[in-house]
């Protein structure tokens, strides 16, 4: 498989596959005589693992740890710890954004939204 096929099969762009290789997230791909990267099914399994982890919002550093656990002794305690830490991080960011959205929603509800210059949203930003 060339990188294009591996990209299609894994759902990661060729650009990102090269990037992940360059930062050491996945191992270096074998090369054909002409220098093309060559991928086997096992390599695509790894790439799919990476894509699913990425879709769950894990950073590359976290994915790196997950990969090591996956390929190693896989103690589920450590995996669970990583996952719950990530959940906590997500929840923290969710709460931050909910507060922003709530504030703005409230301000917008009190904004008549016509052509008058008096606007509670601008008022809140300037006060």
The residue ranges that bind DNA (CB under 7 A) are 2-5, 13-16, 18-19, 29, 32-37, 54, 59-61
Q: Does 116 bind its own copies (CB under 8 A)?
A: yes
Nearest approach in angstroms of CB 46 to DNA is 15
Say how far apart CA 34 and CA 48 lie, in whole Å: 26
Q: Which two tokens stand for residue 33?
A: 């005589």
Which residue, 31 or 123, has its beta carbon nearer to its own copies?
123
DSSP 2-44: -HHHHHHHHTS-HHHHHHHHHTTSSPPPEE-TTS-EE--HHHH
Q: Does 41 bind its own copies (CB under 8 A)?
A: no
Say which entry of its own copies, DNA, none residue 106 contacts (CB below 5 to 8 A, set by partner kind): none
Binding mask 50-79 for its own copies (x = CB under 8 A): --xx-xxx--------x--xx--xxxxx-x
Contacts of residue 57, defined as CB under 8 A and 6 or more positions apart, other chains included, come to 86, 90
């Amino acid at each position: 498989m060339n990188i294009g096929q591996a990209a299609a099969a894994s759902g990661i762009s060729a650009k990102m596959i090269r990037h992940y290789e360059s930062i050491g997230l996945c191992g270096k791909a074998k090369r054909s005589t002409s220098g093309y990267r060559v991928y086997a099914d096992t390599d695509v399994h790894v790439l799919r693992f990476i894509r699913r982890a990425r879709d769950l919002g894990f950073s590359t550093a976290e994915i790196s740890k997950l990969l090591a656990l996956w390929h190693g002794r896989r103690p589920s305690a450590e995996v669970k710890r990583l996952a719950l830490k990530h959940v906590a991080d997500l929840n923290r960011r969710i709460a931050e954004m909910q507060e922003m959205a709530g504030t703005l929603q409230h301000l917008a509800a009190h904004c008549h939204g016509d052509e008058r210059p008096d606007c509670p949203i601008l008022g809140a930003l300037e006060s």
